Amino acid sequence: MQQITQIVDTYFKRMPSIRWTDVVEIIIISFLVYHILVWIKNTKAWSLLKGVVVIAVFLFLAAVFNMNTILWIAQNVVGIAATAIIVILQPELRKALEELGRKNIISSIFPFEPSKPEEGLFSDRTVNEIVKACVEMAKVKTGALIVMEQTQSLAEYERTGIAVDGIVSSQLLVNIFEHNTPLHDGAVIVRGNRVVSATCYLPLSDNMELSKELGTRHRAAIGISEATDSMTVIVSEETGKISVAYEGSLYRSLDGDSLKEKLHIVQNKPLDEKKRKLWKGRAKNEK
């Protein structure tokens, strides 16, 4: 027992003194490593990582058995391989950086974009007009795609369409999406209480888990919700059903009341944790 005590004492004496900054560093590094692993697990980088591990094991064996030719080739290929990995994972890296930029802590420290007015992102009248238009279009199976901007600017997508700059009204939205009209193809972007642009092109989602029965309109709605914090209302041209895309998820088969309820939840500001649970809880019951 005395020998064990002496060993423990000797071990702790040899250990360098630990400062509070060292503890903070350990916590930060652990946090970053955890989130990097979670990110890798949810992307195609996971398969790539497993391939890298196999190559690393192979190179370790080559080093143990002094396979100099293989080691020489590996040393000369490392630079090219690093560049290739960055190119292959470019979409995932971009998405990860966008997610980092969306965090409230970053936005509060670096206000890159002008904040929305305190009275809310859009008024009750705007909500009612959008709901009324969607219900009317659903009855006659008129396809529609209405993107509602929140804190992240949609100027990049707004430039792909035709400027409208009109107050949101059910008549305006129905006329825009009416068949055989010049502005019916593409998405409408709503900023505040105004329709700012029509016939806008949106990025399609590359989520392979989406149902095969979803068309281009729904995939575009999910794609823009993955790239930004916007909310998109979709009216299916085939079925006349109303859906909402938000944060990469699609909530289908909504009626006028449930659509209005969802718009009211995000009306004043983006979803906090409490509102997000409320949103997803109600959406789960509607699926």
Q: What is the DSSP string of 161-217?
A: SEEEEEE--HHHHHHHHSTT-TT-SSEEEEETTEEEEEEE--PPP--TTS-TT--HH
- Is residue 287 included in any domain, yes or no? no
74-95 average pLDDT score: 78
Q: Output the pLDDT for position 175.
A: 94
Asked which of 109, 143, 167 is the last residue of a domain, the reply is 109
Beta bridge partners of 235: 144, 242
The predicted-structure confidence for 202-214, as pLDDT tens digits, reads as follows 988 888 788 888 8
Instruction: Say whether both 90 and 163 belong to one domain.
Output: no
Tell whether 279 is covered by a domain. Answer: no
Q: Which two tokens stand for residue 168?
A: 């949101």
Shared domain check, 154 and 246: yes
Q: Which two tokens stand for residue 189?
A: 């972007």
Is 284 inside any structural domain? Answer: no
DSSP string, 105-172: HHHHHS--SPPPPTT-SS-HHHHHHHHHHHHHHHHTT--EEEEE--SS--HHHHTTSEEEEEE--HHH
Cα angle 194, 199, 203; round to 5: 105
Checking if the pLDDT of 268 tops 90, the result is: no
253 lies in the same domain as 212? yes
Q: How many CA atoms lie within 13 A of 96 on its CB side?
A: 16
pLDDT band at 284 (very low <50, low <70, confident <90, very high): very low
280 in a domain, yes or no? no
Nearest to 109 by CA among 99, 121, 101, 118: 101
Tell me the two tokens of residue 20. 């509070």
In 10 A of CB 63, how many CB atoms? 13
For residue 132, being part of any structural domain is answered with: yes
pTM: 0.63
183, 65: one domain: no
Confidence of residue 32 (pLDDT cuts 50, 70, 90): confident
In this structure, is residue 116 part of a structural domain? no
Q: Does 260 share its domain with 138?
A: yes
Instruction: Tell whether 101 and 149 lie within a shared domain.
Output: no
Residue span of the structural domain in which 75 resides:
1-109
Q: What is the rounded distance in angstroms from the CA atom of residue 147 to the CA atom of residue 224?
A: 8
Looking at the DSSP bridge assignments, the partners of residue 191 are 194
Count of structural domains within the chain: 2
Of 203, 205, 200, 109, nearest to 155 (Cα)?
200
Do 254 and 286 form a contact (C-beta atoms < 8 A)?
yes
Are residues 139 and 255 both part of a single domain?
Answer: yes
Whether 1 and 95 map to the same domain: the answer is: yes
Q: Would you say residue 59 has pLDDT above 80?
A: yes
Clarify whether residues 154 and 206 are in a common domain: yes
Q: Looking at the structure, tell me whether residues 59 and 134 fall in a common domain.
A: no
Asked which of 82, 109, 136 is the last residue of a domain, the reply is 109
Banded model confidence at residue 129, pLDDT cuts 50, 70, 90:
very high
Assigned token pair, 102? 């969306």
